Chains A and B, each alone.
Chain A
Amino acid sequence: MGERRKIPPLARVSSWMRKTRGRWTLVNTLVSLLWLALGLSVVPHRVCERDADAWYRGDPETTEKLARSVSRWVDEPLDPSTFATGSRRYDGEWLFGTYMMAAMGEAQTAIERPERRIEARRRVAKAIDRLLEPGARAWDREAWGEDPIDTLATTNRGHVAYLGYLGLALGMERALGDAKHARLHDAVVAAIARRLAGPELLETYPGEIYPVDNAAAIGALGLHDRTTGGDHRARIARYARTIRQKHLDRGLLVQAVGADGRPGDRARASGTALGAYFVSFADEDLSRDLFLALRRELYETVLGFGAVREYPRGATGRGDIDSGPIVLGYGVSGTGFALAPSRLFADEDAFRSIYGTVHLFGAPRVGARETSFTTGGPLGDAILLAMLTATRVPATLESASR
């Protein structure tokens, strides 16, 4: 018998590879494709979601960095031309929206973290002062031919967007215990309540009715009740009844209503998500139902990224100033606005996955002191501060002026 030759292990592998070259190539390809699939389904969305927990928990450093950016936008001399939407009215709306959302976001962070209240009061008051400047009122004044503040007590015409959004910001200031604008707050809320004594829904512009703008007005009534002990329950209940009976489709909020009370547009995500946020200050049941319908009918994930369809499945439509761009059926505004109700109603999965999408397309630049969303600008930063910090105003947070 001859001596058995010792073969090194690597040589054995090499020999096996040579004999099984076809199988080796197959294994190579399969393992590589497995990496590709795993990489595609796991890595990108997890990378983009890495700050979602901090936002969901209301981490003070994370929120303060964005709040500083928003405060800088409020301090800067912005004007409607900053936004360049191609429409003078929309430029004005966006300037107004920037200050309104700034006030909401600032106040919400202080409600969750009372130690921030002194600084937040200053910033909220500054944002409200901006809302009252002639330049921030011009879009409404030009549409109606009369100023929304000067005619508070003398007209019953709508102005519901300006007054509703302003009323919410004023209510948040009051919730922080600041009475600086208390008289104006009371006057705005009284005007909304008086005008709602007649029609079920008020006009945003002459001949134009949007349920989501009315949701802001109803939210303002609810917030006023919480902070002053007022009672607008009848108005709030009437709005909820009207919406549930006439202006929902598959549980989603119809975007516009004609002068005859019939739907002027379809039910859409941008109005439903923002409406769920606004109405949460007055009627939590309606707010939750809107969010659950949005979650059921419009929310989807793609490669782990959460997104909200602007129109229900099977329907298509173009992007407009409300929806922002629509990509593959998913709307930018509806997706961003959905952050607020998902946080309000503790839907952490939806919040996390939607935040991943916001991070992907918003491209936040996180510095040592400030965070700013590159593709958002002043309006995007302010909206995201409000949506990412959405919270309940507890009954214990009563106004100092009460």
Chain B
Amino acid sequence: MTTRIPARYTVFFVGVLLLVVLHEILLHVMAEAHVAHVLLASGRGGSSAVAALLAALFVVVRVVVVVVVPPVVLFVSARVAFHALRRGTGERRAASVPGNEALAQGEACD
């Protein structure tokens, strides 16, 4: 039995992976570029616009990766699990219950 995951969920998980990679890259750049004080200085304008943008982008990406992504991954994982269970039960039924193929096919197509 094979259960295909809908494309939207695959796209979501790839997006999460890319966000995590972006977070790690920004973390490295922030550490190496010594732009940390841009945030603490409360935007007083002593730093370059690029540094300020980088710092702001890092904070937004970090909050998304740490706070938003884990619960959304759990949410989507639950959806995928339900999807797999539903398809799995439908296909097994089609293979094991004689005389009920039409019904099984109908369920598998949901």
Interface residues of A (CB under 8 A from B): 7-8, 10-11, 13-15, 17-18, 21, 24, 28, 31-33, 35-40, 43-44, 47-48, 82-87, 90-91, 94, 303, 319-321, 323-326, 332, 360-361, 363, 365, 372-377, 379-380
Is B8 part of the contact surface with A, judged by Cβ < 8 Å?
no
When distances are taken between beta carbons in the complex, the residues of chain A under 8 Å from B72 are 36, 39
Q: Produce 1/0 per residue, B14-58, CB < 8 A to A.
A: 000000000000010011001011111111111100000001001
A11 to B71, CA, bound (A): 33
Sorting the interface of chain B by its residue count into under 10, 10 to 19, 20 to 34 or 35 or more gives 35 or more
Return the contact of A17 from the options B41, B66, B77, B107 (Cβ within 8 A).
Answer: B107
A25 to B68, CA, bound (A): 24
When distances are taken between beta carbons in the complex, the residues of chain B under 8 Å from A87 are 44, 46
Tell me the interface secondary structure of chain B in the complex.
Answer: helix
Find out whether the CB atom of A325 lies under 8 angstroms from the CB atom of B39: yes
Find out whether the CB atom of A377 lies under 8 angstroms from the CB atom of B82: no
Q: Given A39-B75, A323-B42, A376-B40, A47–B66 Cβ distance below 8 Å?
A: yes
Q: Tell me how far the C-beta of A53 lies from the nearest C-beta in chain B, rounded to whole angstroms.
A: 19
When distances are taken between beta carbons in the complex, the residues of chain A under 8 Å from B62 are 360-361, 363
Find out whether the CB atom of B31 lies under 8 angstroms from the CB atom of A85: no
Return the contact of B82 from the options A32, A36, A86 (Cβ within 8 A).
Answer: A32
Q: Given A10-B92, A39-B74, A360-B67, A375–B44 Cβ distance below 8 Å?
A: no
CB nearest neighbor in B for A42: B71
Q: Produce 1/0 per residue, B63-90, CB < 8 A to A.
A: 1001100111111111100100010111
- Starting from the known contacts A33-B75, A303-B67, 18 additional A-B residue pairs (CB-CB under 8 Å) come to A8-B97, A14-B92, A31-B78, A32-B75, A40-B71, A47-B66, A47-B70, A82-B37, A83-B41, A85-B37, A319-B43, A321-B41, A323-B42, A324-B39, A326-B42, A332-B39, A374-B30, A375-B59
Find out whether the CB atom of A375 lies under 8 angstroms from the CB atom of B58: yes
Q: Tell me how far the C-beta of A327 lies from the nearest C-beta in chain B, rounded to whole angstroms.
A: 9
A13 to B93, CA, bound (A): 9
